């Protein structure tokens, strides 16, 4: 028999240490990230029915829903389930021949350029959505910039800016971002209201190279994209985002992230890491109360889970260099600028899926309108 493991696909990441019959030993590839992180993705091609055991050499490799699996080459994803996890670095997979013999396994549900293209093609011909190239990455790849604006709608509009994948492995966050955009393009009342009031700009893949190459992205040396918001950024995407934002009068910005892989309130709930500035902490409290009402049962959010500045990991010592949201608050005088953390797998005891996180995105979009109404500005 000859089980094959492949990583030569978008987002692929693993070293094959050993394949011994039904036993596979793997190591996630840290690339140029410091310390330990947990992103991995590989394709297995099975040719013999049986129960396979995959062991990672690093201890924290699996979410509380087990690995995510795709039977259609990464297009759609489901959780294999925690029952297949024997330790946080070991899972088993029964290949019974009823599903595809090619299975992609990943630490979470991938959101790759394919998924963004699928979203864009669903809205091809939309008079509201346009795309351009923000800049080129270090590896000379085009970095997408999406723009939603209803030019037929008269009157002044406020600027909203959304981003994800400053840490490229944080894929679940981009499903929420897609949910926000989808809502803003919708034919319903919420969609019309959003387009009437706002111009939305969006950079879905702030670290485009990392998304495509399947890097960890988190804790890149000498620092990662979300610690690069200083006077002399080293990443072209960050410089381009800064230049773009400095040219706008911003109303609302949100930078979407995912936390660590499992365990505890601040890895398995949706939450906001609170800002340092007291005024922005107050604004966050207001927005959080609103989002709590709108958040769907299948991807719940509770304001009590927010992590105030100065507590947990959210302390000054964790910020060697400004984050995207902190830089916006400092430089752009927005009326709201926050990062949100969306778990990879479980939120307040509920198993997340691509669709449920898109629904959370819709709730964020609805909350922007209500927040704007309440603030009356």
Interface residue list for Zn ion (CB under 5 A):
167, 170, 257
Residues paired with 199 in a beta bridge: 159
Q: How far is the CB of 261 from Zn ion (least distance, A)?
A: 12
Identify the three-state secondary structure at position 364.
helix
Our CB check for Zn ion shows the closer of 149 and 170 to be: 170
User: Least distance (Å) from Zn ion to the CB of residue 255?
Assistant: 8
Nearer to Zn ion, 91 or 301 (CB): 301
- CB closer to Zn ion, 115 vs 167: 167
The minimum distance between CB 294 and Zn ion, in angstroms, equals: 23
Strand order in the sheet with 41-45: 4-6, 41-45, 102-106, 68-70, 78-79
What are the C-alpha distances in Å from 40 to residues 60, 62, 93, 120? Answer: 11, 10, 16, 26
| CA 339/CA 374 separation, integer angstroms | 21
Q: How far apart are CA 40 and CA 105, in angstroms?
A: 8
Contact 239, 135 (CB under 8 A): yes
> Measured from the CB of residue 257, what is the shortest distance to Zn ion in angstroms?
3
Question: Whole-angstrom Cα distance, residue 194 to residue 368?
Answer: 9
What's the CA gap between 127 and 218, in Å, rounded?
36
Cβ proximity to Zn ion, 167 vs 197, nearer residue:
167
DSSP 8-state secondary structure symbol assigned to residue 274 = P
Closest CA to 328 of 179, 206, 198: 206
Residue nearer to Zn ion on the CB measure, 167 or 195: 167
Least Å distance, CB 341 to Zn ion, is 7
* Beta carbon nearer to Zn ion, 191 or 210: 210
| Shortest distance (Å) from residue 310 CB to Zn ion | 19
Please, which residue, 85 or 107, has the CB nearer to Zn ion? 107
Q: DSSP for 129-163, please give it.
A: EEEEEEEE-TTSPEEEEEEE--TTS-S--EEEEEE
Q: At closest approach, how far in Å is the CB of 170 from Zn ion?
A: 5
């Amino acid at each position: 028999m000859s089980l094959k493991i492949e990583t030569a696909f978008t987002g692929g990441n693993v070293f094959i240490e050993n394949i011994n019959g039904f036993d596979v030993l793997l190591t996630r590839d840290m690339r140029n990230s410091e310390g330990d992180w947990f992103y991995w993705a590989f394709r297995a091609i099975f040719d013999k029915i049986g129960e396979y055991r995959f062991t990672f050499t690093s201890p924290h490799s699996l979410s509380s829903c087990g690995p995510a699996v795709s039977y259609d080459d990464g297009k759609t994803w489901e959780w294999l389930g925690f029952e297949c996890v024997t330790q946080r670095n070991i899972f088993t997979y029964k290949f019974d021949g009823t599903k595809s013999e090619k299975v992609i396994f990943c630490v979470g549900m991938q959101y790759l350029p394919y998924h963004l293209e699928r979203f864009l093609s669903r809205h091809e011909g939309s008079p509201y959505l346009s795309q351009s190239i923000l800049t080129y990455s270090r590896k000379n790849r085009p970095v997408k910039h999406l723009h939603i604006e209803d030019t037929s709608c008269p009157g002044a509009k406020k600027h909203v800016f959304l981003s994800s994948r400053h840490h490229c492995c944080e894929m679940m966050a981009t499903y929420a971002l897609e949910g926000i955009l989808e809502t803003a393009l919708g034919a319903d009342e919420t969609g019309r209201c959003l387009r009437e009031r706002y111009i939305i700009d969006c950079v879905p893949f702030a670290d485009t190279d990392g998304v495509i190459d399947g890097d960890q992205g988190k804790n890149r040396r000498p620092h990662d994209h979300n610690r690069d918001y200083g006077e002399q950024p080293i990443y072209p995407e960050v410089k381009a985002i800064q230049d773009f934002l400095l040219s706008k009068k911003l109303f609302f910005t949100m930078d979407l992230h995912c936390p660590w892989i499992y365990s505890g309130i601040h890895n398995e709930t949706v939450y906001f890491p609170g800002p340092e500035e007291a005024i922005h902490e107050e604004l966050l409290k207001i927005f959080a109360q609103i989002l709590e009402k709108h958040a769907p049962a299948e991807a719940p959010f509770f304001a009590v889970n927010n992590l105030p500045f100065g507590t947990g990991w959210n302390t000054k010592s964790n910020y060697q260099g400004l984050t995207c949201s902190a830089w916006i608050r400092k430089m752009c005088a927005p009326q709201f600028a926050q990062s949100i953390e969306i778990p990879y797998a479980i939120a307040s005891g509920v198993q997340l899926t691509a669709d449920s996180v898109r629904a959370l995105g819709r709730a964020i979009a609805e909350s922007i309108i209500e927040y704007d109404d309440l603030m009356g500005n």
